[in-house]
Structure 1
């Protein structure tokens, strides 16, 4: 594969050491004799290469070493030895063995006085060396190398091409080295030898101590030069691969969406991860201040990383991460000289949010936090059986809900419904309030929704009382009225609405709009549970398992879990099975891995690649999440009409 190699050692100047000698060397050194490529390396060359590799292990990254190992000849050995000695000149100058080789290496023809070039059209070697004579900072000695076949094919087998390239990107190189453009100084020389013609570039700042070159900086230099050198080939490559790459993105996107969906819906048992989360939770007891990854001591960061890597062993997580990783490797394959190993999930910056999700779940375990797991709950609290409706109201609802009817007919039905509501029909008032609440056929209007739902609630209609209670507890500033919301939920619960009783139980557990009271919460959950509400049965089982608001009793807890599981409640079934296995434990700990897996599903979904070929309205994920949260606050299921939202369509909520 065509590729560029960049090595960036540096010379530390000052204290009697300078870089001017190195500059003279690269500017005037002899062009190494190109020896016929069929003779084997000499014994001295082999011995010297063994020593060089031992003394300077990173030289194995050079193209010259790759050529030598693949084709060990006298010429490839000479090219490798020469470049390694040049790269590490400051370290080998005092070594007699190295110095003897430099002094006795094969001679070759000279190319003028010197080959140094820089920003100026003509370089005075003595003047350039004088700039470094008393310099006290670090001077980087970049070595930029190509395969000869690539250099000849792309026109980089001469000094003029390299001078033009480095002049064009001198500011990019300066930025990568954290040097201001006006302070950047550089000179270079092109060595056209062997199978890997290369450039020696000396770079420094006029302000000693200003320059700093990290691994990321070296990658930036390499990327900038690669983009220019291989520009035409890359354009051709992109044209050839665009269709297959788009298909790869589509396949990866679909696979990741499906796998993240599985994560968000899975109930997972992982005792080892649970043990590690419990250990982290206990350790967090001693942490003062903000409990987020960046603020934790190193010992706890290691525990968090270990949990993330343990979660990576789950098949669904491993497959999702692998899909994402394969796409990244494919997109970046032009810059990679070797196959990259997938790093542990804890080291992947794009997924660092998982670490704080781990800490969040450990905190929930430490604080004995009660979660509800009701994101998938089908909320029927405001559903009115059509058998309770008058014939007129039932017909109007049928027309309004049926999108196959012409819009004019549906609009006319909505007008007639409003007339019926004004005449005092509580069911028409409820339906009209829901239409204004949910939008779709009618423009959403929270104040009108409140008015009509309150009118129906005053008729002691429990579904309307529940709906207005949920609306007033929502975050909509136009109608937010928690005390009134609680009052209407109480009224609905007293009238037998089990969803209102369940909602009140949650309110008393949270303590946000009413004083926190686990005993009162348990009473409301019991009312809803006895009305066969599986979500309340599940929560009541958790309270008995934990001893919150009720006496701790595993037998009663098991009974409520069993009742909810019979109705298809997934989490109740999970906890029931754990109890049957003799693993009761705190529910928060037993569900911690499941909750963490759900967080990971959301984080992976946030990193799903965009499909550049998709058309139609696109809603940003965070914006969609905000809209979804608002709909949930207004009483909708989390997945209610998600597909229609993504498509830009509109639809009405249930009545």
Structure 2
């Protein structure tokens, strides 16, 4: 059972049937309580057992309560009395008027009083009981009642065994509660009372809205309210759970990444291990290849949806996915158990989890557009730049000295002299010096790391069409850790650098076209740029970028993606890349007999990679705990300050 139990009901004005026995019980409540105090540990008497059975027949939902759970476990006089009293209070509207209901919850035994009664509302001062009861009884619209209940041990541990805590909780969330009723908070009215029962402290709540409004509380709204209140009541405990979830998420990410790499290697070497998944992906590809319009799971016919669900179900069978999903579910259950009565021991099928529904659209995209295999190879980086023969010799010498000083010890005065020379040349407008100054700021060598400073110098050099600076700006915008991260701008700068002949930029732009980053997916443009990068004359591009460009272009020829399928051309490119030292090209050549299955295998790996990222980001984030001041209370404090002579907004400065 959930740690917080809530029961919402309508409060109806008409008297009802089957009320005689219940009225008699409430009328003799004081005598019942005296008997319970003296004989509470004894077995329930016959009259109690009969009344319990009658209550269960008339109100089957009474079984869903802490009191019945205790009575079923130990049918004593005290537990029977607790269950009978609680059930009658929940259904008091069947045999008593609205006026008497409000009076009863405000004055019954063990209510925690504030003055003459225990009723409280949104207002700071205690309400007039008769006025509150009259407002409820004379209201001609819908009235809702609710009981919020905790176990004694939870209430004591979390300090919710006092009316003040419940009053603060309900006042702080009045706007959220009103929103679930679909009414403005200004038109929403409520009153409540806290009953400090021995085993199950609880709050009675009465809610209604102005007649001009049309309040409505749906089943989904009930669940949302229970979740909202439970998350705040158990906030301290849930924060600790979220911290453990974050730690487990990091462990899960590392574990899942390692298993993903193992799966990639295994599937590449033995693709027959996933024939069902590959077959389903091929079927789905045929279904969606020529489909026009927005490709979304929700708009597809049922037969196509069933293929998508089958793909995810087949993916779930993979050991590494199954283990990761199981770990995620155990963490998820810990949070859900605070406000849900029951949860399945086994995780529901992955395709039914709303947290991962986006995976269905990823499957559709991969099936329609194809997806290159996850790049496990390290991205090359142009750590060496060709000598700009047009740069001043002194500037180039200063740059060489600074490069050497990174690895060896040089007198500090020499380094500072070289640095001053380089920065002075950059300020004079030398494009090559500006590019090098930007690199120093970007990398944090000899100068504090400053992405803004790096961007400024790179942009100055780029205005003079320095393609190294244009490429550097592309990398700056492509870096997810940079404050200037923007894939569209990165693609723009890579394109400018490529137009000016930068082979590295051509390779990076080709990857963007291939993966749909910063540019629409365009395999034809990707193939053209890979080919240009592979044929570059620059010695540094030939050494580092060209082998990867040949490898990527070879894979496109194998699939027929963006270029006509041509295995002979693919083999030629892959052999050239392998001769240049690309081990991935060599491995692909060794599996030539399996090339016909490269597309489905890559699609399967793309789905697994997407799921890996979703596991990393689906754990709820910890929200910072902040204290908020009610607007009305803030106005009151401001009025007091002005009365004491303070000017408006004359507050102490925040430290």
Structure 2: how far apart are the matches of 1:575 and 1:26? 85
2:72 equivalent in structure 1: 69
Q: Which of 389, 396, 401 matches 2:401?
A: 396
> Gaps spanning 5+ residues in structure 1: where?
94-108, 423-427, 455-464, 614-655
Gap change, CA 1:611 and 1:58, over 3 Å in 2: closer
- 8 Å CA contact 1:468–1:488 kept in 2: the answer is no
- The 1:408/1:527 distance shift into structure 2, 3 A limit, reads same
Corresponding position of 1:536:
549
Distance 2:222 2:559 in 1: 54
| SS at structure 1 position matched to 2:129 | coil
Corresponding residue number in structure 2 for 1:595? 606
Quote the Cα distance in structure 2 between the aligned partners of 1:37 and 1:603: 54
TM-score (structure 1 length as normaliser): 0.61
Q: Does 1:258 align with 2:254?
A: yes
Indicate whether 1:122 and 2:98 are aligned: no
**1:469 touches 1:484 (CA, 8 Å); kept in 2?**
yes
Q: 2 CA distance for matches of 1:572 and 1:471? A: 28
> What residue in structure 2 maps to residue 378 of structure 1?
380
Taking the aligned partners of 1:174 and 1:124, their CA distance within structure 2 comes to 22
Question: What are the within-5 Å matches in structure 2 for residues 577-592 of structure 1?
Answer: 580=593, 582=594, 584-585=596-597, 587=599, 589-592=600-603
- Cα offset for 1:67? 0.5
Change in 2 beyond 3 A, CA 1:407/1:28? farther
User: How far apart are 1:66 and its partner, in Å?
Assistant: 1.2
Distance in 2 of aligned mates of 1:26 and 1:200 = 22
TM-score, structure 2 length as denominator?
0.61
- Return the alpha-carbon distance in structure 2 between the equivalents of residues 503 and 292 of structure 1: 29
Structure 2 portions without partners, runs of 5+: 97-107, 122-126, 268-273, 388-392, 448-452, 478-487, 625-655
1:410 aligns with 2:392: no
The secondary structure found in structure 2 opposite 1:591 is helix
Residues 469, 394 of structure 1: alpha-carbon distance in 2 compared, 3 angstrom cutoff: closer
CA apart distance, 1:552:
3.4
Tell me the residue number matched to 2:5: 5
Counterpart check, 1:203 vs 2:207: yes
Aligned counterpart in structure 2 of residue 131 of structure 1, from 125, 129, 138: 138
Distance 1:550 1:167 in 2: 64
**Is the CA contact 1:255–1:320 (under 8 Å) kept in the aligned structure 2?**
no
Query: 1:127 Cα shift?
Result: 3.6
Whole-Å separation in 1 of the counterparts to 2:490 and 2:201:
72
Q: Distance in 2 between matches of 1:144 and 1:544?
A: 65
Q: Which residue of 1 aligns with 2:485?
A: none
The answer to whether the Cα contact below 8 Å between 1:483 and 1:513 also exists between their aligned partners in 2 is no
Q: Distance in 2 between matches of 1:299 and 1:182?
A: 49
Per-residue Cα deviation, 1:154-199 (whole angstroms, up to 9, x for no partner): 99889x7799679856835444434434433446677777854655
Report 1:414-433 matches (<5 A): 414-415=419-420, 433=435
- Indicate the RMSD between aligned Cα atoms, in angstroms: 6.1
Moved more, 516-525 or 169-178: 516-525
SS at match of 1:584: helix
Q: In structure 2, how many angstroms separate the alpha carbons of the residues matched to 1:247 and 1:605? A: 14
> Counterpart of 1:142?
146
Name the SS of the counterpart of 1:291 in structure 2.
coil
* Structure 2 CA distance for aligned equivalents of residues 272 and 26 of structure 1: 68
Provide closer, same or farther for how the CA distance between residues 396 and 57 of structure 1 changes in structure 2, counting only shifts above 3 A: farther
* Contact 1:430 1:453 survives alignment (8 Å): no
**How do 1:4-403 residues align onto structure 2 when only pairs under 5 Å count?**
4-10=4-10, 30-31=28-29, 32=32, 35=36, 36-40=39-43, 58-73=61-76, 75-77=78-80, 79-80=82-83, 83-84=86-87, 87=90, 117=119, 119=121, 120-123=127-130, 127=134, 130-131=137-138, 135=140, 137-147=141-151, 168=171, 171=174, 173-186=177-190, 195-196=199-200, 198-207=202-211, 209-220=214-225, 224=229, 248=244, 251-252=247-248, 254-259=250-255, 261-262=257-258, 268=264, 269=267, 270-285=274-289, 288-293=292-297, 304=308, 307-308=311-312, 310-321=314-325, 345-346=350-351, 351=356, 353-365=358-370, 373=375, 376-380=378-382, 383=385, 396-402=401-407
Higher relative contact order (CA 8 A, sep 6+): 1
Cα separation, 2, equivalents of 1:513 and 1:376: 22
- The 2-side partners of 1:168 and 1:411 are apart by 63
Decide whether the 8 Å contact of 2:559 with 2:598 is kept in 1.
Answer: yes
Aligned partners of 2:489, 2:156: CA distance in 1, in Å? Answer: 69
**Distance (whole Å) between structure 2 residues aligned to residue 527 and residue 594 of structure 1:** 30
Whether 2:458 is the aligned partner of 1:446: answer yes
Distance 1:111 1:471 in 2: 73
1:546 alignment partner in structure 2: 559
Q: Deviation of residue 286 (structure 1)?
A: 6.9
Q: Which residue of 2 aligns with 1:102?
A: none
State the Cα deviation string for residues 390-425 of structure 1 (Å, max 9, x = none): 996895254353486576543422455689999xxx
User: In the superposition, relative to structure 1, how do residues 539 and 195 fare at CA in structure 2: closer, same or farther (>3 Å)?
Assistant: closer
Query: CA distance change for structure 1 residues 27 and 297 in 2, over 3 Å: closer, same or farther?
Result: farther
Indicate conservation of the 8 Å contact 1:75/1:194, yes or no.
no
1: CA distance between counterparts of 2:144 and 2:224? 15
Query: Which secondary structure does the structure 1 equivalent of 2:608 belong to?
Result: helix
